[in-house]
Amino acid sequence: MGYSALLLGALVAAPAFGQTFRRTAACPQLGCVFPPDQTDFIAGQTFDLRIEVQAPVNGSEAYNNGQVDKNFSIKIGGQGAELVDAAQFFGLSDPEAEKYNFTYYEDLFAEDAHAPTPVNVVAKSYRNLQLHTPGTYEVVLTYNNGDTTKATWTVADLAEKKKAKNVIFFVGDGMAGSMLSAARLLGHKTINGKYQSKLKLDEAPGYGSQMTHSLDSFITDSANSASALFSGKKMTVNGLNAYTLIQNSSTGKAYGDPKVETIFEMFRRIEGGQVGVVSKAYIADATPAAVCTHTSQRSQYTAIIEQYLSGVAGNYSWFPWEGVDLLFGGGGENFLPGPGNGNISQFDRWASEGYQVGYTKTELEAFDNAQRALAIFTQGNISTWLDQNVYTDLLDLAVTPQGKRGARDQPGLKDMTLKAIDILHTRSKERNTGFMLMSEAALIDKEMHVLDIDRALGEVLELDDTVRATLKHLEEIGELDDTLVVVTADHGHGFDVFGSADTKYLQQQNSDRAKRSAIGTYQNSGLSAYQVPQDVLANNHTIFQSPQGDGFPVTWDPRYTIAHGWAAIPDHREDFEVNKDHERVPAVKNTTGYFFNPEDNQRGFAMTGNLGTGDGQGVHSLVDVPVYAFGPGHEYFRGVMNSPDLAFKVALALDLGRNSNVTASYRK
């Protein structure tokens, strides 16, 4: 028998391992170490160490009839040095062992057969640890009569000097580079192939890209990806600065999974600095929550709101957090009395802790810059830029935190960001500290999921306008030279523009096939009609002013629009026009799954989906996303990066690394 035949036979005889479902993320053997192999730390960054020994009862990894070996040990040491017991290394008492169990499906066949694999576990958690000496560390878990699971950790070098006093970190949620190309086409005029103006982001002296995959999957969600940006650690999907060891939390406790400290938390702990969070999403959503909260499941909204204020989740906390300095966004429903928060109003509770509380743009503008502030403007997400500025009738459908209909007094991202800067600047100046602000253009992602590209691009242009205004405002208040401004995305969507569409012609065709003839490609794509009025040809060289100001379209609904598409779609109809009277709902559920929404884009042609029939919206993609940086330390952000690198570069600019444990005081 030849080599190829032998190899084929060996492959056929091998166990049927699956990867759709995993026993435990980043744990290739029955002994698990978290943080796992390949983890990097900022010197002095706080983290939890958790080890687990698992014994599946059945399946391809079945061990000892499900009986767990309790005789295990964990040792750690610098590379090349003698390894010592972890408790001794960190100067702790050895924690008590915990027992729990979980079940999972090995693959889709097991799920179809309703044949789960039970797994019994014994574990230990070492809490609130730090590594202060830069270099490489080896971690070895020994179990099951000599089996080992090894992890190599690296502590980054300390900064040679502090470059920035303040950091503003913008996140365009879901913003791929192709979206910026499309936004530039809509918001800026070309003459003979040359843009007459550009995005503010195009002027960034620091420019690069970053990879967004998660710890154990190549497509990420916003919880994992934002955690990577803010803590420098790859997480699993749904995990907020905590390793989600199995699908529904390894410990069986909502907040018992091993946690890691974010750069915002380090900044507060080490310097006593001021921290603010701004988002157009509901404020308990994944990206804003990743600034300073810890849970294995991003859906723990009540606990996330509590952690913003107290830093406590269950019985777990890092240090006296004392609350964010400001929190602006949507999501009033998570502040209302309910069983999850003891039937108390979080609005009243935050007010009792000294926060100004507001619900409108008018109240936001009236805030005292010297006091901490909570401003929640809507239930759910804040309205999109397009609805706030162009198709304003939709504002009457918005719901305020108090439940009243009508929300025409909402702020935009720029309003919230500039006010946040004023508050943080005032408070930090009084306290002789710096400040850190996270500002999220959240609705880019929300609108991309429902294939509403016009609203998504409006959010991209609003972000660019906000960055422009931010840099100008920093100069006005004397903070420009001391403030690092970073702009990036947490992930992308598989979107691009491939031509133009003659919407008038498309509407008058009677078949899907004929409607597709309205799409023009290459030379037939023509010029952008978004920078001229409706009755003016796109090749007119006059530069017209947008009603919404520089950097926005002159008209949002020209006859010739961009023709665009996605890599991941549900069944939907496409007419390439603005949905003027509603946000898109591309697919609706029936007895067979999600199918074409009969009320959406009725004049468009059918695009059959390529996602599973259980998905009614688009999903994230693998594409690398852009990184832009302005100000001191901007040079660190050039080239191709992995998402955790950004946290390390911010820490380097702020000189957050420490060779000993440091906890500064914070003044409310």
Terminal C-alpha separation, the chain: 77
Q: Is 213 annotated as a binding residue?
A: no
The helix-helix angle for 645-654 and 222-231 (nearest 10°) equals 30
Q: Is 465 annotated as a binding residue?
A: no
d(CA 171, CA 174) in angstroms, rounded, equals 9
Q: Is 365 annotated as a binding residue?
A: no
d(CA 99, CA 503) in angstroms, rounded, equals 63
Catalytic residue among 222, 225, 428, 500: 222
325 alpha carbon, distance to own chain's centre: 21
d(CA 558, CA 539) in angstroms, rounded, equals 14
Q: Which amino acid is at 662?
A: V
Residue 386, both tokens: 């397009």
Instruction: Output the CA–CA distances (angstroms, integers) from residue 516 to 144, 464, 564, 608, 610, in the order listed.
Output: 63, 33, 12, 14, 19
Q: Is 575 annotated as a binding residue?
A: no
Q: Is 440 annotated as a binding residue?
A: yes
Residues 6 or more apart whose Cβ sits within 8 Å of residue 3: none
d(CA 561, CA 499) in angstroms, rounded, equals 9
d(CA 528, CA 537) in angstroms, rounded, equals 10
Residue 488, both tokens: 């990036």
Residue 384 DSSP one-character state: P
φ/ψ region of 364 (left if φ > 0, alpha if ψ in -120 to 50, else beta) reads alpha
Is 222 part of the annotated catalytic residue set?
A: yes
DSSP character string of 423-483: HHHHHHHHHT--EEEEEEETHHHHHHHTT-HHHHHHHHHHHHHHHHHHHHHHHHTT-GGGE
Binding residues for Zn(2+): 173, 445, 449, 490-491, 620
Which amino acids are annotated catalytic? 222
Which amino acids are annotated as binding site, given as ranges? 173, 285, 287, 440, 445, 449, 490-491, 620
Bind-site residues for Mg(2+): 173, 285, 287, 440
